[in-house]
Amino acid sequence: MSDPSRHTSSSVGASQKRSYRARAAAHASWANTANRAARTAPGTKAFLDRFERQVDPEGKLPQEVREQMAQSARTAYMLRLARLSAEARRRKSQNL
């Protein structure tokens, strides 16, 4: 990745400038976050709850069964992401 300090304002597009500002702001925010787990807990819970709703939308299954099914749904989701990522990397390397 290129060093943003080496770019002049005329050589960097508006999109890149926004990206640099956003990255700097994100790092400053994380620098002021002592408990990262607490800060990310709501998002992590929402992500994991998604799979429980997927496998048991009406909430009728026993909790243990729902958790096992949700774990399998998460694994399937992650494996799909890994496959798509590998395919994208392969396509990118073939186009170089």
State pLDDT tens for residues 51-61: 999 999 999 99
Residues 74, 77: Cα–Cα separation, whole Å = 5
Q: Tell me the whole-structure pTM to 2 decimals.
A: 0.66
- With a CB cutoff of 8 Å and minimum separation 6, the contacts of 73 are 51, 54, 55
Residues 20, 27: Cα–Cα separation, whole Å = 11
Judged by DSSP in three states, 2 sits in coil
The percent of residues above 70 in pLDDT, for the chain, comes to: 89
Is the pLDDT reported for residue 19 higher than 60? yes
pLDDT of residue 95: 87
pLDDT averaged over every residue in the chain:
91
Mean pLDDT within 24-49: 96
